Amino acid sequence: MVRIAIVNMKGGVGKTTTSVNLAIGMANRGRKVLLVDMDPQGNVAHSLKIRAHQNTIYDLLADDILIDQIIRTGIRENLDVIPSSNVAFGLENRLAGETLREKIFSRRMKTVTAYDFVVVDTSPAMSLLTVNTLLYVDVVVLVVSMDQMAIIGAVQSLAGLKRILSAFESPTKEILVLPTLYNASTNGSKETMTALQEDPDLGPYLIPLVIRQDVKLSYAAASKRSIWEYDARTRAAEDYAKLVGYLLRRFGNETEKTESVEAQTEFYS
């Protein structure tokens, strides 16, 4: 089982969009996937039309309710979900006195083994929930939108991640940087991509594909569907399919031949 966190300390970079479409994309490829929302804003539940007033991540972490009572099954074929809600904003205070509170999520998830992938959406803050996530997962995907401030935020996020892993003597994670909201027709996106490629901190982790800007991602979210359910012919659907394929080849033992890295990197130009 491979555990993947989608992170950035800055909001509005496509983090939840990436989490939802990555999870559904993997499920569409026959993988058994659990999508977990660790963001108190609860956007995953909203995106998938899930009633979040029932048991949520709050109940799992604060009340130690059995995991089987938390997981919502059958949200999509091969896809289960642990939703969040704004009640989770109270978790920081609720868990303050807990022993090893930074690893509560890891302890609660110990019996969850029946999935090929666990995808975790995180909040745009280095909160206790984010720390719990980072100490649980194997892979961290740092989402970076195509503006200079986002790069600054990503550098800060990466530095925070490394500090946390060092402080808790956690095993080194696989770190990937995913560019989002890329628009090849604007100089701003091109200049930001160049800066990202040349950045000594982020550049080494950059994966060879981008998620292009596509208004239909917003339409899909508003209709509470994935991009493939909304319109599988969009460029966003194409890009997220490539991300799914890349991660399955790298972490899921998939050998299926897909588009070459050289073809993928042409999006940069």
Q: What is the pLDDT of residue 268?
A: 45
In the predicted structure, residue 53 carries a pLDDT above the cut 70: no
- 229 vs 115 pLDDT, higher one: 115
Q: Are 246 and 178 in contact (CB under 8 A)?
A: no
Q: What is the pLDDT of residue 264?
A: 41
In the predicted structure, residue 239 carries a pLDDT above the cut 90: yes
In the predicted structure, residue 269 carries a pLDDT above the cut 80: no
In the predicted structure, residue 213 carries a pLDDT above the cut 90: no
Among 117, 112, 53, residue whose Cα is nearest residue 79: 117
DSSP calls for the chain: -EEEEEE-SSSSSSHHHHHHHHHHHHHHTT--EEEEE--TT-HHHHHTT--TTSS-HHHHHHS---GGGTPEEEEETTEEEE---GGGGGHHHHTTTSTTGGGHHHHHTTT--S-SEEEEE--SS--HHHHHHHHH-SEEEEEEESSHHHHHHHHHHHHHHHHHHHHTTPPPPEEEEEEESB-TTSHHHHHHHHHHHH-TTTGGGB-S---B--HHHHHHHHTT--HHHHHTTSHHHHHHHHHHHHHHHHHS--------HHHHGGGG-
- 95 vs 245 pLDDT, higher one: 245
- 92 vs 127 pLDDT, higher one: 127
Q: What is the pLDDT of residue 10?
A: 67
Q: What is the pLDDT of residue 11?
A: 65
Residue type, 180: T
- 214 vs 86 pLDDT, higher one: 214
Burial class (CB in 10 A: 0-12, 13-18, 19+), 238: middle
Does CATH number 3.30.200.20 belong to domain 2-268?
A: no
pLDDT band, very low/low/confident/very high, at 263 (cuts 50, 70, 90): very low
Place of tokens 């195509």: 146
Q: What is the pLDDT of residue 12?
A: 66
Q: What is the pLDDT of residue 49?
A: 84
pLDDT band, very low/low/confident/very high, at 247 (cuts 50, 70, 90): very high
Q: What is the pLDDT of residue 137?
A: 95
**Rounded Cα–Cα distance for residues 135 and 105 (Å):** 9
In the predicted structure, residue 179 carries a pLDDT above the cut 80: yes
What residue spans define the domains of the chain? 2-268
What mean pLDDT is predicted for residues 228-247? 93
Token pair of 134, please?
Answer: 């980072």
pLDDT tens digits along 133-175: 999 999 999 999 888 788 888 888 899 888 888 888 887 789 9
In the predicted structure, residue 57 carries a pLDDT above the cut 70: yes
